[in-house]
Amino acid sequence: MSQSIFDQMKDMGHEQVVFCHDPHSGLNAIIAIHNTTLGPALGGTRLWNYNTHEEGIVDALRLSRGMTYKAAISSLNLGGGKAVIIANPAQKSEALWRRYGKFVNSLNGKYITAEDVNTSARDMEYIALETKHVTGVPEYMGGSGDPSPFTAYGVYIGMKASAKKAWGNDSLVGKKVLVQGCGHVGQYLVGHLVKEGAKVLVTDIDAAKIKQTVEAHRGVEVVDGKNLFDNEIDIYAPCALGATLNDESISKLKARVVAGAANNQLADENVHGPLLISKGILYAPDFLINAGGLINVAAELETYNAERVRGNVEKIYDRTLEIFALSEQENIHTQAAAMRIAEKRLADIAAVKARL
């Protein structure tokens, strides 16, 4: 990391970053609060075995910024935040989660947590023993459970809108879709795609996840992760980690559409957003189409109603088409178009709040 943490916070517009350490449970966590203009910062906790602490910091900063945009474009009254725990999944324990819950609680609701990669509704249950500032908790504790089905549904809806733009018809029947990452979201997404009649290719670094997916969905083809971008496909759906759209992958990518769940798919939005356009690849902005889970956990903070959540997730279809239209009209890449809409809402509400 060449820049200091404060320079990075300044460049990306962060309000607060909290470092949490507990020697007893082995907890090392970073809570990044990007922007609370619209409300408390809500975003999941990712548990990942980062190679260095710096990698974890960068991930927390990038992910929390994405959450600000996600909430803003989804008309939610929430700010952007995200946390990472630097650990191996085998290190998960009740003590680690409860200690982490105490740290979340110490922020008095400025940050509200939920699930992300390698964290589950069961883990949220432990956090909920120490703080009320947690969502995605199991139904039997009054929550709405795993948000992933709603995330996957939103991605599917956004993918259909992208198909409409790319091919003039939103049917995915016969379309070759490569799903990278068969975790919580990826598996539900595969379900929607198979049901509609798409030809689904899957890959994952975890053989158990591949097995689960293949057993649950007939006709799914497994592809090797090594030469992933050599596959002739119509749609690439990144559903693992971020930054898979980079110089190397884009130079090989043979898809017309990219629409997936992963956060921060563009390694560098200023470089790779325009690069995708120049290659004729339509990119559905990640924070726009993967907002279903956030829309769902946000509803947990009010009177939860799954049908209303579903209706709100379906709004992703029209919003995606609006973003594509704005991108064409203003001659900007699609991520920039989505950011412009989100930034306008943030500026408008900041101005409202500044007045008596």
The residues facing 33 across adjacent strands are: 16, 81
Binding status of residue 204 toward ligand NAD by CB under 6 A? yes
- In angstroms, the CA 201 to CA 180 distance is 8
Contact 56, 48 (CB under 8 A): yes
Binding status of residue 32 toward ligand NAD by CB under 6 A? no
Which residue's CB is nearer to ligand NAD, number 21 or number 185?
Answer: 185
Q: How far is the CB of 119 from ligand NAD (least distance, A)?
A: 8
What angle do helix axes 334-354 and 53-73 make, rounded to 10 degrees?
70
Residue corresponding to tokens 């990038």: 62
Which residue's CB is nearer to ligand NAD, number 168 or number 215?
Answer: 215
Q: How far is the CB of 153 from ligand NAD (least distance, A)?
A: 10
Q: Check 70, 82, 160, 176 and give the catalytic one.
A: 82
Per-residue buried b or exposed e for 133-172, using 16+ beta carbons within 10 Å of the residue's own CB: bbbbbbeeeebbbbbbbbbbbbbbbbbbbbbbbbeeebeb
What is the secondary structure of 232-285 as a DSSP string?
--SEEEE-SSS--BSHHHHHH---SEE--S-SS-BSSHHHHHHHHHHTT-EE--
Q: Binder to ligand NAD among 39, 181, 273, 285 (CB under 6 A)?
A: 181
Which residue's CB is nearer to ligand NAD, number 219 or number 225?
Answer: 225
Which residue's CB is nearer to ligand NAD, number 151 or number 320?
Answer: 151
Residue corresponding to tokens 């509200």: 112
* Binding positions for ligand NAD, 244-273, rule CB under 6 A: 261-263
Q: Binder to ligand NAD among 40, 147, 273, 285 (CB under 6 A)?
A: 147
Which residue's CB is nearer to ligand NAD, number 28 or number 180?
Answer: 180
Q: How far is the CB of 241 from ligand NAD (least distance, A)?
A: 5
Q: For the chain, give the number of residues.
A: 356
Binding status of residue 45 toward ligand NAD by CB under 6 A? no
CA atoms within 13 A on the CB side of 325: 8
SS3 state at 45: strand
Q: Binder to ligand NAD among 39, 186, 191, 273 (CB under 6 A)?
A: 186
- Looking at beta carbons, which residue is closest to ligand NAD? 183
Contact 237, 214 (CB under 8 A): no
Per-residue buried b or exposed e for 208-223, using 16+ beta carbons within 10 Å of the residue's own CB: ebbeebbeebeebeeb
* Residue window 274-313: x/- pattern of binding to ligand NAD, with contact defined by CB under 6 A: ----------------x--x--------------------
- In angstroms, the CA 130 to CA 112 distance is 13
Binding status of residue 123 toward ligand NAD by CB under 6 A? no
Name the pairing type of β-strands 79-86 and 45-48: parallel
Look up 82 and say whether it is catalytic. Answer: yes
Which residue's CB is nearer to ligand NAD, number 268 or number 348?
Answer: 268
Q: How far is the CB of 249 from ligand NAD (least distance, A)?
A: 11
Binding status of residue 348 toward ligand NAD by CB under 6 A? no
Catalytically annotated residues: 82
Residues near ligand NAD (CB under 6 A) are: 115-118, 147-148, 151, 180-186, 203-206, 209, 225, 239-241, 261-263, 290, 293
